[in-house]
Amino acid sequence: MEIDRPDVVKEVKEAFERYECALVLNDVETLDAMFRDDSKTIRYGATEILYGYAEIKQFRAGRSPAGLARTLSKTVITTYGRDFAVASTLFHRAATSGKVGRQTQTWVRFDDGWRVVAGHVSLIDEPRAG
């Protein structure tokens, strides 16, 4: 198995960046399209546990668009073969000072493109330096 083929990393990075742009702009239509429309798709959020595309879509439709801007750091995208990838990143938001967010997405290439099949978002206290 080839890990981190440059062409596949580039594709997933582009999909990840499209998702991030849609997230901060609250572009719900694009966010919905980025998740696999399947009852097995999962999203564990900072305050919610969502099983299946329908629950994820319902969450997105009801989410407040306020305070979504964030800064990413330490983003790592690792691909396995041509059709599977994991994207992990840290994020900071002004509204959650003193906290660091963690996001992990599992991406799979389907006939209609790259889709998130599992996502996890959590917040923890900012680790002390040193």
All domains of the chain, ordered by start, with CATH? Answer: 6-125 (3.10.450.50)
Interior angle at CA 63, CA 58 and CA 67, nearest 5: 160
Residue range 31-64, pLDDT digits in tens: 999 999 999 999 999 899 999 999 999 999 998 8
CB contact set of 84 (below 8 Å; sequence gap of 6+):
106, 107, 108, 109
pTM flag (> 0.75): yes
**Under DSSP, is residue 33 helix (H, G, I), strand (E, B) or coil?**
helix
Q: What is the pLDDT of residue 66?
A: 86
Which residue from 13, 6, 8 is spatially nearest to 82, judged by alpha carbons? 8
Residue 19 burial class via C-beta count within 10 angstroms: exposed 0-12, middle 13-18, buried 19 and up: buried
Which residue from 5, 30, 3 is spatially nearest to 17, judged by alpha carbons? 30
Residue range 14-27, pLDDT digits in tens: 999 999 999 999 99
CB contact set of 24 (below 8 Å; sequence gap of 6+):
68, 69, 70
Give the chain's mean pLDDT. 95
Query: Which tokens sit at 8?
Result: 């596949």
The strand pair at 84-92 and 99-110 is best described as: antiparallel
